[in-house]
Amino acid sequence: MAVTAKSILELTDVHTYYDNIHALKGISLSIPEGDIACLIGANGAGKSTTLLTISGVQPAEKGEIRFRGEPIQHLRPEQVAGKGVAQTPEGRQIFPRMTTFENLEMGAFLRKDKAAVAEDLEWVFSLFPVLKERAGQLGGTLSGGEQQMLAIGRSLMSRPALLLLDEPSLGLAPKLVERIFKTLLEINQKGTTIFLVEQNAHMALNISRTGYVMETGRIVLTDRASALLENEQVKKAYLGE
């Protein structure tokens, strides 16, 4: 794999435990700035844990995480968020009893630049016009797809340099998945680096440049996404071919 741009995120030998369960057994990866990278793997491989470890919700026991060269493994989640890392958690964790608008506002919680926040709000509304229609509606009353859009929109409201997405396709109709992935490309074109965790390996590899394959807490394969799509092992295990 040729790394041309300098990396925005670098993990070196990261170990994470849930009590005595060794969930991440030495993860190392490097994501170039401006890239879309994806992490694929089976259930329980440690994909979500990887994201939660990066954002500080489930802190790493050992190893180093660097964001733009700066170690962030000891920071609390809100501090990581303050550095410019936004995570859309798995299962559309929106705030159900806040309106769509308030949910988006929460995404900009750390920002003081009101004018730019308003601009980003317009941008999010242009990416997901349905959110504008639903602005006054409580998050919990939105449909599954709308909630996923809201969750992504909320993450964007912090104007992140790096967007971590946990299973954006989970439980959505194929057509909607396609729409969301198209929007991800749009977001990426605006300069946001995206690190994507997916079970829908085909979709994920199609829009990514770099792909990582994870098995039981370890990264077993790293390659260009297009190469992974052709890889016999990957085809057999994750693409169902």
Binding positions for another protein, rule: CB under 8 A: 55, 57, 76-78, 81-82, 86-87, 89, 93-99, 101-102, 105-110, 114, 117-118, 133-138, 140-141, 154-155, 158
Nearer to another protein, 78 or 241 (CB): 78
Least Å from the CB of residue 230 to another protein = 35
Nearer to another protein, 46 or 139 (CB): 139
Least Å from the CB of residue 213 to another protein = 25
Nearer to another protein, 94 or 187 (CB): 94
Least Å from the CB of residue 206 to another protein = 27
Tokens for 131, please give them. Answer: 């959110």
Beta bridge partners of 181: none
The answer to whether residues 196 and 38 touch, using CB atoms and an 8 Å cutoff, is: yes
Least Å from the CB of residue 110 to another protein = 4
Nearer to another protein, 138 or 237 (CB): 138
Q: In what order do the strands lie in the sheet containing 21-32? A: 21-32, 7-18, 62-67, 70-71
Q: Which residues contact 180 (CB under 8 A, 6 or more apart)?
A: 145, 148, 149, 152, 168, 169, 172
**Three-state SS sequence of 56-77:** CCCCCCEEEEEECCEECCCCCH
Among residues 6, 21, 40, 9, the alpha carbon closest in space to that of 231 is found at 40
Q: Got the DSSP string for 82-122?
A: HHTEEEE-TT----TTSBHHHHHHHHTTT---HHHHHHHHH
Nearer to another protein, 41 or 89 (CB): 89
Q: In 96-194, where does DSSP find H-type helix?
A: 100-107, 114-127, 129-133, 144-156, 174-189
Nearer to another protein, 97 or 190 (CB): 97
Provide the residue type at 83 as one letter.
K
Least Å from the CB of residue 151 to another protein = 8
Least Å from the CB of residue 177 to another protein = 22
